[in-house]
A and B are shown apart, each in its own frame.
Chain A
Amino acid sequence: MSKKTIFLAGLWREHPNLRQLLGMCPTLAITTSVLNGFAMGTAVLFVLVFSSFMVALIKRLIPHQVRIAVYTIIIATFVTIADITLKAFSPQISRALGPYVPLIVVNCIILGRAEAFASRNSVGNSVLDALGMSLGFMWGLMAIGAVREILGRGTIFGFRLGIIHFRPWIIMLLPAGAFFVLGFVIAFMNFLDRQKRLKT
């Protein structure tokens, strides 16, 4: 596998939240704005890249039976660091993301990549894979955040969108809206896939 393939996989073909359907909790919970999506994406990037790096680095030292336990400790450590850093340097974002930052610990993407990739590939490739997956996750979050923010608040990144006679659909900011938007986005991606397959 070329380095380019490894990196690009997470961005489209094996997209973590919109294709593999992993990490659904944050995708539904915090995507009430593009900024939130970006912030969560950054947190996940930090945790995923560093965890994959560590796992790939020490993979030969870990006995097979305890590998999940060790990966979990590593992941939980980086999540705690991310959480403390957010609380200290950006309390507003920390409060906006709330308990979903510590919940990155159980985000299937991170443990999934550690087990599926980092534990059997070189450090360099593992970091590339982690970068690809987290950037993919981030754009997925931001896309859903954009739909919900534009329709639910009439703003994007906080800036009013000057469309005068638009009364925001508050439902978009509520849990039900999250389910609807995600459902339609995944349906749309399935549709694109089918079109592609029908053409070939």
Chain B
Amino acid sequence: MKEIFLIFIGAVLVNNFVLSYFLGICPFLGVSNRLESSLGMGMAVTFVMSLAAAITWLFYYLILVRFHIEFLEYVVFILVIASLVQIVEMFIKKYSPPLYQALGIYLPLITTNCAILGLALFMVLRQYNFVQSVIFGFATGLGFMLVLVAMAGIREEMDFSDIPAAFKGAPIVLITAGILALAFMGFSGLISG
């Protein structure tokens, strides 16, 4: 139980995917300008990540390891993730149009989101079991959403400031992310690994 708690806190705060491992930067730069879209993206990502963690775990241990074809890890993972996102999108579109309105547009962006593949890779590297993997996926998604929403809040405020021309757009977001990363470093003492 303690182990799961550590994984959770680790993924959300201490080793946040965006601020420590730089995974998910593309959507982070693109979507974090509005609070609403950040929440939407964050929820979509959390949902897909939890699902992806479960399914890639099953594929890896029940098929790849069983038949000693671990070298197909990257090919299988990316195909599974891409298909998963596609299926989830179709499912939501059909069974919940309002949900699709809120989240649907973000889903295709998630496929090339390094965060999901990164999640699957880390899960294998750290040899998490099934439950640990799903918690890890869920926590990583939450961590992503946390940072995205924090950034959106800051950016909405920054809209009212006078930013030098050269810094407008990506540069100021990156520098802000750096400050956020510094702040998050304060969490490093939380888990006495």
Contact = CB atoms under 8 A, between A and B. Distances in A.
Given A24-B26, A183-B178, A84 B71 contact: yes
B74 A176 contact: no
Contact of A106 (B22, B114, B182): B114
Interface of B: 19-23, 25-26, 29, 71-75, 78-79, 82, 111-114, 117-118, 121-122, 125, 164-175, 177-179, 181-182, 185
A150 to B, nearest CB: 18
Contacts of A194: 165-166
B60 to A, nearest CB: 13
Contacts of B29: 21, 24
B185 A69 contact: no
Given A111-B112, A179-B177, A187-B166, A76 B74 contact: yes
Contact of A102 (B117, B165, B179): B117
Given A72-B82, A84-B71, A111-B112, A180 B22 contact: no
27 contacts: A21-B170, A24-B26, A29-B21, A72-B78, A80-B75, A83-B74, A99-B118, A99-B121, A99-B122, A105-B117, A107-B114, A174-B185, A175-B20, A176-B179, A178-B178, A180-B174, A180-B175, A180-B178, A183-B170, A183-B173, A183-B177, A184-B171, A187-B166, A187-B167, A187-B171, A191-B166, A194-B166
A176 B71 contact: no
A25 B29 CA distance: 12
A186 B170 contact: yes
Given A21-B29, A179-B174, A80 B22 contact: no
A175 B22 contact: yes
A180 B174 CA distance: 6
B118 A103 contact: yes
A65 to B, nearest CB: 12
A106 B171 contact: no
A168 interface: no
